[in-house]
Chains A and B, each alone.
Chain A
Amino acid sequence: MKKLLVVLLTLALVIPICALAQEQPKEFVVYADKNTRDNHYIPSGFMGDYGDVKINDQAMDNPQTGATCIQFVYTAKKSQGQGWAGVYWQNPPNNWGSKKGGFDLTGMTKLTFWARGVKGGEVIQKFMVGGIKGIYPDSAIVEIGPIELTDTWKEYTINLAGRDLSYINGGFGWVTTADLSPEGITFYLDDIKFEVDTTLKPEAKKQENIPFYVYADRSSTNNHFIPSGWMGDYGDLKYDGAAKEDPYLGDSCIKIIYTGQATQGARWAGIYWQNPANNWGAVDAGYDLSKATKLTFWARGEKGGERIEEFKVGGIMGEFSDSDTATIGPVILNKTWTQYAIDLKGKDMSYIIGGFCWATNVDVNPEGATFYLDEIKYE
């Protein structure tokens, strides 16, 4: 009996020590090679203009390692009229947060991947980990971008140190826009994996440097925020972010046509530039623009006399709200380019999701309005 007790006591002490001594996994693979058992997520979550995206997950055209890599072709044809597209790697496939899936990746501190473009210069607006909402939402969202690819393989890292990775259904993803890649792009990805790197420290929320562009030119990697928040009579709006008609600077400007037909019966319309697209305060993704003292932009009306009731920064209120708001207006546009400024002195610009906004209505534009915007930037 005594011996048995000693044995049991020894086992009770040794087993946990052995368990602790077992090495924690150092990496967790998203994609290594086609048909590799280590792959944990499926590139099933096609978003935006999904008709513009084609995938070949067993491309043998010069993979970074192994026998295959993933090829994406994005045509930028706006098949679904969105102007942007992207793909999420999910578990299980097509899980937009409606099913319990995902993985507990606690302990991982970074995601690394390799990427290259066919020509070089292809722009991906962002690569991300997590961020899928729904009934079972991801516990984190981390993004990097925009990134301009090179024509040779290059490794990229998303720092996850300090993030809550206890539930990640969207293991990896990318998004780009037709404005950033108007001719379409072909690019490759390989060796996507989570890793443990004890030397990595959590990234502090950084203050963005000035000037910080909302819009410079159609394909500029300096552009931030997406003109995704269409409001009121959104059916009355046409947006062209690559207009060639006499841009103020560079090769393109923004052209907006407001027909004033009150398609949705609201009798007003407007657009918010958001980060990320369609973020009405549900996603924690505000920029820290504390260094900015004003937002400037250039505008002109097609005929002159078009009236914009309000130009605005900030003001999105949701679970994650903009830290402040500032407006000017009403503004009656000139036929020639005129610069306007929204004064931000004394404003708290430490968290901005809604980078820029305009709104007008049919009462002051009974015939509608066509106007142009360019060089929208925080200074």
Chain B
Amino acid sequence: MPVTLRVKRAKRTKRAQRTKRAKGMKKIYIVVIFLLALVVTLIFATGMMGRPKPGVYIKKLKDSHYQLIANRKPYIVKGACYNPIPIGENHEYDWWSDPHTPWLRDGKLMQEMGVNTIRVYQPHENIEEVRRVIHDLYALYGIRTILGHWLGFWEYPCPFYSDKAFQDRIKKEVLEMVAAYKDEPGILLWILGNENNYSCWGRVNPWSDEEIDKEADPQKKNLLRAKIYYTFVNDLAREIHGVDPDHPVALGNGELVGLDIASKVCPDIDLVACIIYRGKTFGNLFQSLKATFDRPILLSEFGADSYDAYKNLEDQNMQAFFLESQWRQIYENLAKNKKGAGNCLGGTIFEWTDEWWKHNESDPKGYKIHNPEAGWSSGSYYFDIKAPGNMNMNEEHFGIVALSEELESGLNKRIPKKSYYVIREFWKNPNLNPKNKKGAKSR
């Protein structure tokens, strides 16, 4: 065969092979495009993309520091416990359905202060009303909601944490709450219980069962109760994670009491939400928790009242002094601060507005009086500890916003106290060294 013919044939063969390869590639492209289209369609169909709900989770950093992440960004909880009971009403008042929408008035004030979270101890029964509040606060003011559940703590005669029927009923309520609100974009996390752990030590709402009663040693009785209670809370946390993987679950706890037991039976708890009233300092709370139960901590209830029970007069400076000091310690113990424990996620001040019904809930006349009598004693709040009987804690004066009897659009007028402004400035420019006014450091 002449050389020219051989060359031509070879060229034809190569061309044919290229055409064949190109056709094969085309088929592959079509298949890939088809598959991609299928995946995208499936994603949209199942609602996995474009869903407004942000994921909230806890990130463990090096040095065992913890950070709360919401919307893929670090989130410091700058919050307040929220229970806007108007003057003249008591805790049974249904503010969720108040036609004057107190949460809108408060939400604006909160936003101006820098509050990004409210804590509600337990939602109202009406799901739509609760959703509306959570939605409004988040959509209008960017304020998230922490929802809690009392776990039957205030039921009469007492909680029966070892009783299966009681457990099942509480579990049903908790899971219904989670199912109802888990898809609300404003939800931040869940808190199970408040100071229920004290019931295990018989300090409040004591409970027992036949098995516990058989134990003669009172210390062991307490430990038995604690183990039962914390195991139950862990079961709840595990089941919540099953239906809602997008929000952390907190164990509500009075002080650190019992957390050594919780550390053994609560692997599914994501964080501890502690109720702490220790005056100007939290002491070694953060390090102590790290040593006892290595979980991040949210100060879910802390603060100071604004009434000097010794001098018998309003003292907003005293409240502001304590609150600023407490926030300074919270910030010192946030993640990435080398001086602190790095396990604090923030806090929710007790509380947003004063509640005028609290001193004596059996006296409806008192709901209209801003009672100056103290309800309990704590030496940690030392300015007025010399009050008669050392009774210095004025339960009706813990708000950082005062209520006036004057009405504005049907609501008691809100008057921010000094602490409102002091904390607002602290959040804007956290100064961790109070002696050095130039030492402010932004976060």
Q: Do A and B bind each other?
A: yes
**Interface, chain B (partner A; CB < 8 A):** 217-219, 222, 278-281, 283-284, 287-288, 291-292, 378-380, 382, 385
Q: Which residue of B218, B288, B379 contacts A316 across the interface (Cβ within 8 Å)?
A: B379
Contact A348 B284 (CB under 8 A): yes
Q: Which residue of A324, A329, A330 contacts B283 across the interface (Cβ within 8 Å)?
A: A324
Task: Note all chain A residues with C-beta closer than 8 A to B217.
Answer: 332
Leading 9 A-B pairs by shortest Cβ distance? A317-B380, A330-B218, A348-B284, A346-B291, A318-B382, A280-B379, A318-B379, A319-B382, A317-B379
Contact B219 A329 (CB under 8 A): yes
- Alpha-carbon distance between A160 and B378 when the two chains are bound, in angstroms: 33
Q: Which single residue of chain B is at the shortest CB-CB distance from A231?
A: B390
Q: Closest approach, in angstroms, between the C-beta of B303 and any C-beta of chain A?
A: 15
A300 contacts partner chain B, Cβ-Cβ < 8 Å = no
Task: Note all chain B residues with C-beta closer than 8 A to A318.
Answer: 279, 379-380, 382, 385
Q: Which residue of B222, B278, B287, B385 contacts A321 across the interface (Cβ within 8 Å)?
A: B278
Contact A348 B287 (CB under 8 A): yes
A106 contacts partner chain B, Cβ-Cβ < 8 Å = no
Chain A: interface residue total (CB-CB under 8 A):
20
Contact A323 B378 (CB under 8 A): no
Q: Which residue of A317, A332, A346 contacts B279 across the interface (Cβ within 8 Å)?
A: A317
How many cross-chain pairs have Cβ atoms below 8 Å apart between A and B? 51
Task: Note all chain B residues with C-beta closer than 8 A to A346.
Answer: 288, 291-292
- Alpha-carbon distance between A316 and B378 when the two chains are bound, in angstroms: 10
Instruction: Determine chain B's interface SS by DSSP, over half rule.
Output: loop
Q: Which residue of A307, A321, A328 contacts B380 across the interface (Cβ within 8 Å)?
A: A321
Which of A272-319 touch B at CB < 8 Å?
280-282, 307, 316-319
- Alpha-carbon distance between A307 and B216 when the two chains are bound, in angstroms: 12
Task: Note all chain A residues with C-beta closer than 8 A to B278.
Answer: 317, 321
**Interface, chain A (partner B; CB < 8 A):** 280-282, 307, 316-319, 321-324, 328-332, 346-348
Task: Note all chain B residues with C-beta closer than 8 A to A316.
Answer: 379
15 residue pairs from A and B, CB less than 8 Å apart: A280-B382, A281-B379, A317-B378, A317-B380, A318-B279, A318-B379, A319-B280, A321-B278, A321-B281, A321-B283, A329-B218, A330-B219, A331-B219, A332-B218, A348-B283
- Alpha-carbon distance between A322 and B283 when the two chains are bound, in angstroms: 8
Task: Note all chain A residues with C-beta closer than 8 A to B292.
Answer: 346
Task: Note all chain A residues with C-beta closer than 8 A to B280.
Answer: 319
Q: Closest approach, in angstroms, between the C-beta of B271 and any C-beta of chain A?
A: 21
Additional A-B contacts beyond A280-B379, A318-B380, A324-B283 (4; CB < 8 A) = A316-B379, A317-B378, A318-B279, A321-B278
Task: Note all chain A residues with C-beta closer than 8 A to B385.
Answer: 280, 318
Contact B279 A328 (CB under 8 A): no
Q: Closest approach, in angstroms, between the C-beta of B374 and any C-beta of chain A?
A: 15
Q: Closest approach, in angstroms, between the C-beta of B317 and any C-beta of chain A?
A: 15
Q: Closest approach, in angstroms, between the C-beta of B437 and any C-beta of chain A?
A: 21
Q: Which single residue of chain B is at the shortest CB-CB distance from A265?
A: B389
- Alpha-carbon distance between A348 and B341 when the two chains are bound, in angstroms: 14
B217, B283, B385 pick with most chain A CB within 10 angstroms: B283
Task: Note all chain A residues with C-beta closer than 8 A to B222.
Answer: 330
Q: Closest approach, in angstroms, between the C-beta of B373 and any C-beta of chain A?
A: 16
Contact A323 B283 (CB under 8 A): yes
Q: Which single residue of chain A is at the shortest CB-CB distance from B290?
A: A346
Q: Which residue of A282, A323, A328, A331 contacts B382 across the interface (Cβ within 8 Å)?
A: A282
Task: Note all chain A residues with C-beta closer than 8 A to B291.
Answer: 346
Q: Closest approach, in angstroms, between the C-beta of A362 and any C-beta of chain B?
A: 15
Contact B279 A321 (CB under 8 A): yes
Contact A323 B218 (CB under 8 A): no
- Alpha-carbon distance between A367 and B7 when the two chains are bound, in angstroms: 120
- Alpha-carbon distance between A321 and B280 when the two chains are bound, in angstroms: 9
Q: Which residue of A282, A317, A321, A328 contacts B219 across the interface (Cβ within 8 Å)?
A: A328
A281, A317, A324 pick with most chain B CB within 10 angstroms: A317
Task: Note all chain B residues with C-beta closer than 8 A to A328.
Answer: 219
- Alpha-carbon distance between A280 and B218 when the two chains are bound, in angstroms: 29
